[in-house]
Amino acid sequence: MSATLTLPWMEIAKSAVHDEARQHAKEQALADLVAEYATTLYRVAFSVLRNAADAEDAVQEAFLRVLRHRDRLEEVRDHRVWLVRIVWNIVLDRKRRAKTRPETDDVAELARVLPATGLSAEERAAAAQHHARVLTMVDTLPAKEREVLVLSAFEELSSVEIAGVLGITESSVRSRLFRARNLMADLLERPRSLR
């Protein structure tokens, strides 16, 4: 018959091991989040900032915030919506603070970033011009409608998830999207001289 003897220092050692294991598990969970959602967050950030370096900075800042709140990771129900919401707030904040970049910067960045397989240099430049013009029109939309329109372009986000990111109801998402599309159609119908 063997009796187990538990001494206080053994308890401390056990709890320390337990804490270390828990810490390791948290770090592993964070690494998994980075591997799974970094690309999505980068796209969301780029759709607002339209600059690769700024978008990557925003993604890093988002995960740094997650690192600070890693103790509450278990409480989060939908990690994707939560992370998109974090990076969305970061990029909106940066967009407000940043000085307005000239449109030529957007065109050059889009020509560099967007896929242009099979296009000549001239066609690529023309496509970049078109994309930049569309984005300029999107910028003229009211903020609420613009945000919904930009987020609705993401195939991986449903209207419910967009509502979760923006903190509004799904019906609000749909009505704002309807208004945004009407406004965009009006802008596109106008002659270019009136824009």
Partner 1 sequence: MNFPRQNDRNEPLRNAEETLRLIAALPAPDGLAGRVQAKLRTAPRASSLWRPFALAPNGWMYNPVLRGAAAAAIVCLVAGGGWRIYSHIQQEPIGPAAIAPARIGTGGGFSSANAISKPDTLNGPVLTHAVVPKAQSPAPADEAVPPVAHANKGAKASAHKKKTAGPAQ
Please give the residue ranges that form the binding site for partner 1 (CB under 8 A): 30-31, 34-35, 38-39, 42-43, 46-47, 50, 52, 56, 59-61, 63-64, 67-68, 113-115, 130-131, 134-135, 137-138, 149-155, 157-159, 162, 181, 184-185, 188-189
What distances in angstroms separate CA 35 from CA 41, 56, 72, 157, one per listed residue? 11, 14, 19, 18
DSSP reduced 3-state for 1: coil
Give 177's Cβ-side CA count (13 Å radius): 19
Least Å distance between CB 120 and partner 1? Answer: 18
Asked whether 78 and 36 are in contact (CB, 8 A), the reply is: no
Whole-angstrom distance, CA of residue 59 vs CA of residue 140: 26
CB 14 to partner 1: min, Å:
23
Closer residue to partner 1 (CB): 14 or 190: 190
For partner 1, the closer of residues 76 and 158 by Cβ is 158
Q: Which two tokens stand for residue 168?
A: 């509004």
Q: Which is nearer to partner 1, 76 or 131 (CB)?
A: 131
Nearer to partner 1, 76 or 129 (CB): 129
Q: What 3 state SS string does 99-135 have? A: CCCCHHHHHHHHHHHCCCCCCCHHHHHHHHHHHHHHH
- Could you tell me the smallest distance in angstroms from the CB atom of residue 3 to partner 1? 40
Q: Which is nearer to partner 1, 24 or 130 (CB)?
A: 130
Q: Which is nearer to partner 1, 3 or 53 (CB)?
A: 53
Rounded least distance, CB 147 to partner 1, Å: 12
Smallest distance, Å, CB 2 to partner 1? 42
Angle between helices 143-152 and 8-49 (to 10 degrees): 110
Give the integer Cα–Cα distance in Å for 44 and 155: 12
Please, what is the minimum distance in Å from the beta carbon of residue 138 to partner 1? 7
